[in-house]
Amino acid sequence: MTETKKTEWNSNFAFMMAMIGSAVGLGNIWRFPNVLYSNGGGSFMIPYIVSLFLLGISFVLIEYAVGFKFKKSLARILYSINNRLEPVAWFILLTVFLITTYYVCVVGWDLIYIFLSLTKAWGANPDLYFTNNVLHSTDSISGLFTIVPIVLASVFAIWFIAWFIIKRDLNDGIGRVSKILLPLLCLIVVGIVGFSLTLPGASIGYTQIFTPDWSALTNPEVWLSAFGQIVFSLSLGMAIAMTYASYLPEGSKLIDNALIVAFSNSGFEVFNSIGIFSILGFMALTSGIPFNELVTEGTGLAFVVFPQVFNIMGDVAYIVGPLFFLCILFAGITSVIALLEGVCYSISEKFLIERKKTATVVCIIGFLISTIFATGAGSAILGVFDTYLNSFALLFAILLECIIFGWIYKFDNLAETLNKNSSVKVGKIWEVIIKIILPLCIFFLWSQGIYYTFKAADGFSITIEVILTILLIIIPFIFAKLPAVNENYYD
Ligand code: PFF
């Protein structure tokens, strides 16, 4: 991370595993099945694939090209394009950092569930158990003053693991961990999907994926959902691909790499949802609960519906349950370290702080912010953070990146960088996508996000959103104004 020592991946495999690990996360496991189901089942694959090719891969390519060409951190890249753009970089990084603070908490809940699943400790009512015994959720803001020790401990554990990985050298930390966790994750998922297909009622579930509702295709919201899923799942706009690509050695085949990462990520979520749907089909058959009531999103699916399924499954659930939560843990950790790397890189490059120290400071501050989510009011605040940061701040970040790299920076240079060693090439269409189509799509998604955020707003969420907005304006300017310690920073 510092100027003196050039950081580089020691193999393309390490880079690929880290990139796929950054993309495969909670979003693939618990977000995708719900998005797929509520947007027309099988027919959703059409807008999904179109979004993947047209928008997702196109944007990943921009991040690859920029990172690889500049070989600098995001803050320094934007400074070198135009010094007035530096606050934009810190805005993006702060958004990513704030996302990480609550993402870590959800991974922390998952860690608790690995242990709970060993004895099915949630009992007959997993829903109540989750809110009352794990989260100790309160309805009022007064819950902010009660810490939930078990959640705090697990949040600490995840921050500690993340710190332990990112403080090491790139290859020794992120590279090595991704090379171990990702293949393990795939192995477990293959096992779970294979097992789920043998369950009675599995076909009730998985046939949903292959039963298209063609009328959904004429609904613009379905197209926006597909695009939203691609943004979330591929971790677009978070400067992850940019950071990881900046560590690539000369001669790397950028476009080939990007295609493999994007296909692996989508392949993972589609394959994984076959397992999730089969298990839900089994649940529908055994419990008589209609299938559509079982397909929920996020915490509901992982910490409520799945424990209910494990209750019915019998003794085999003592193996499948922990493996399922272990999967989420692995997917979560590889995403957390990716989210943090870009943030640490910019700080360490500007202030010339060594990797270990930066990681320590970032993780301590991150942990302190995460303690908010380990209180009685934590899950409510987490919901507001999630909606605001994902449907508003992050989309705004992507929009800014499209404008900066598409319109302000010399675009042809990026195409040249990508095409140089790759077997597949980009051309005029890619340019039109980045300059016009992608910003328009983001703009629509953004307007939709703002509309829903305001519709659902109450005093509590508005207060948090106002605080976040103020922080997201002030802090980036402070960071940009602080003089760089690194004398090469302004080159
Ligand atoms: N793409 C990862 C996932 O699907 O979970 C990582 C990620 C995406 C983290 C979006 C956070 C986020 F808001």
Query: Tell me: the pLDDT tens digits for 69-80?
Result: 999 999 999 999
Which residues share a beta bridge with 147?
375
Measured by CA distance, the residue closest to atom 5 of ligand 1 is 25
CB 99 less than 6 A from any atom of ligand 1: yes
Measured by CA distance, the residue closest to atom 7 of ligand 1 is 235
Residue 392 near residue 449, CB atoms below 8 Å: yes
pLDDT number for residue 416: 93
Task: Summarize pLDDT for 84-113 with one digit per residue, the tens.
Answer: 999 999 999 999 999 999 999 999 999 999
CB 35 less than 6 A from any atom of ligand 1: no
CA distance 47 to 220: 10
pLDDT number for residue 16: 97
Dig out the tokens for 212 from the structure. 């298209």
DSSP string, 313-359: HGGGHHHHHHHHHHHHHHHHHHHHHHHHHHHHHHHHHHHT--HHHHH
Q: Which CATH architecture has domain 12-410+439-481?
A: Orthogonal Bundle (1.10)
Measured by CA distance, the residue closest to atom 10 of ligand 1 is 232
pLDDT number for residue 344: 97
Dig out the tokens for 261 from the structure. 């990462």
For residue 102, the one-letter residue type is Y
For ligand 1, pick from 34, 229, 232 the residue to mutate: most ligand atoms within 8 Å of CB. Answer: 232
pLDDT number for residue 300: 80
Using CB atoms within 10 A of its CB, is residue 251 exposed (0-12), middle (13-18) or buried (19+)? exposed
CB 237 less than 6 A from any atom of ligand 1: no
Q: Name residues whose C-beta falls within 8 Å of residue 68's C-beta, 6 or more positions apart in sequence.
A: 245, 246, 248, 252, 254, 417
DSSP state, 212?
B
Using CB atoms within 10 A of its CB, is residue 95 exposed (0-12), middle (13-18) or buried (19+)? buried
Which residues share a beta bridge with 212?
41
Cα 484 to averaged position of ligand 1 atoms, centre (Å): 30
Cα 198 to averaged position of ligand 1 atoms, centre (Å): 30
Q: Report the nearest atom of ligand 1 relative to the CA of 386.
A: 13
Cα 331 to averaged position of ligand 1 atoms, centre (Å): 10
Cα 143 to averaged position of ligand 1 atoms, centre (Å): 27
Low-confidence ranges of the chain (pLDDT < 50): 1-4
For ligand 1, pick from 238, 335, 391 the residue to mutate: most ligand atoms within 8 Å of CB. Answer: 335
CA distance 15 to 244: 7
Helix 176-197, helix 254-287: angle, nearest 10:
40
Predicted model pTM: 0.94
Which residues share a beta bridge with 103?
none
pLDDT number for residue 418: 94
Residue 333 near residue 107, CB atoms below 8 Å: yes
Q: Report the nearest atom of ligand 1 relative to the CA of 103.
A: 11
> What is residue 375's three-state secondary structure?
strand
In 297-314, which positions are buried (b, 16+ CB within 10 angstroms) versus exposed (e)?
ebbbbbbbbbbbbbbebe
Q: Residue holding tokens 């099945």? A: 33
CA distance 491 to 477: 20
pLDDT number for residue 2: 44
Q: Residue holding tokens 């400067």? A: 239
Cα 184 to averaged position of ligand 1 atoms, centre (Å): 19
CA distances from 304 to 130, 295, 354 (A): 7, 11, 43
Widest pairwise Cα distance in the chain:
67
Q: Report the nearest atom of ligand 1 relative to the CA of 338.
A: 6
CB 232 less than 6 A from any atom of ligand 1: yes
